[in-house]
Amino acid sequence: MKKVAVVTGAANGIGAATARLLVKDGYDVVGLDREPGDIEGVTFIKFDVTNVEEHDVLLGRIESEHGPIAALANVAGAYAYTTMADMTVEEFRKQLAVFLEGAVLLSRAAGMRMMKRGGGRIVNVTSTASTAAMPNSLAYNTAKGGLDAASRSLALELAPHGVLLNLVAPGFVRTRMSNDPESGVNEADTDWFQTDFVDNGRLPIGRTSEPEEIAAPIAFLLSDRNTYISGTTLMVDGGSTSSI
């Protein structure tokens, strides 16, 4: 019987790449997203992770239809580039609801089920912005910083029961979320990115990452090959946080 893995935000970007890789690794993958998804080997369920009151009901449904959940990847995101002055309270709360509350409480709900069975793996996708803030991203930076702290706290309680929880922190990734909402141009294709990050060496690898390059470490941390890593943050950022 295949192990069951759940991936949020699985319809596109890092979530889709993670779901594909987990299928290749032999998992029975359930993808959660507000949008429809179409990936061979992935069962999609339309679900908004901010609907926290339904988390346990959802997980119960998945386990009744597929079997015990062995792995969870929280990837779902809804980023909005907004200055401090222009940001509304509603916009602030929306990003916290997705990036922080949704991921933390789904981790908790899945983790409690895994604890009872004596094992499991959880990865929460954070960002280098959790420690090196981006401009005009107050809600995003706040949510990712909170996710880091909450994940470490969860990891402390889960590890004694065989459940390992970790964070993967991408830097620049070529996904829809990094496209300019007006022009549709990806930030990696702008003069700003080339000048401020590539030409001056702030991004040592010299290019943005692809979703598959973030999915690979997520899949490793979710796998049985990970037997001793818990409560840590893996930076997958092309060396950007190591540069001055």
4: left (phi over 0), alpha (psi -120 to 50) or beta: beta
Q: Are residues 108 and 199 in the same domain?
A: no
Q: Are residues 87 and 188 in the same domain?
A: no
Are 175 and 140 in contact, with CB atoms under 8 Å apart?
no
The radius of gyration computed from the CA coordinates of the chain, to the nearest angstrom, equals 17
Q: Is residue 124 one of the residues assigned to a domain?
A: yes
Tally of structural domains, the chain: 2
Q: Are residues 73 and 169 in the same domain?
A: yes
Q: Is residue 243 one of the residues assigned to a domain?
A: no
Question: pLDDT digits over 48-90, tens only?
Answer: 999 999 999 999 999 999 999 999 999 998 777 788 898 899 9
Q: Are residues 39 and 80 in the same domain?
A: yes
For residue 169 the two structure tokens come to 């922190």
Domain containing 9 — which CATH number?
A: 3.40.50.720
**pLDDT-derived band of residue 181, with 50, 70 and 90 as boundaries?**
low
Q: Are residues 203 and 219 in the same domain?
A: no
Question: pLDDT digits over 119-158, tens only?
Answer: 999 999 999 888 887 778 898 899 999 999 999 999 999 9
Q: Which residues are catalytic?
A: 140
Q: Is residue 77 one of the residues assigned to a domain?
A: yes
User: Which residue range is the domain that position 140 belongs to?
Assistant: 4-173+211-238
Evaluate if residue 237 carries a pLDDT over 70: yes
Q: Is residue 244 one of the residues assigned to a domain?
A: no
Question: Distance (Å, rounded) from C-alpha 209 to C-alpha 112?
Answer: 33
Q: Are residues 138 and 204 in the same domain?
A: no
Q: Is residue 103 one of the residues assigned to a domain?
A: yes
Q: Are residues 221 and 199 in the same domain?
A: no
Q: Is residue 11 one of the residues assigned to a domain?
A: yes
Q: Is residue 69 one of the residues assigned to a domain?
A: yes
Are 169 and 236 in contact, with CB atoms under 8 Å apart?
yes
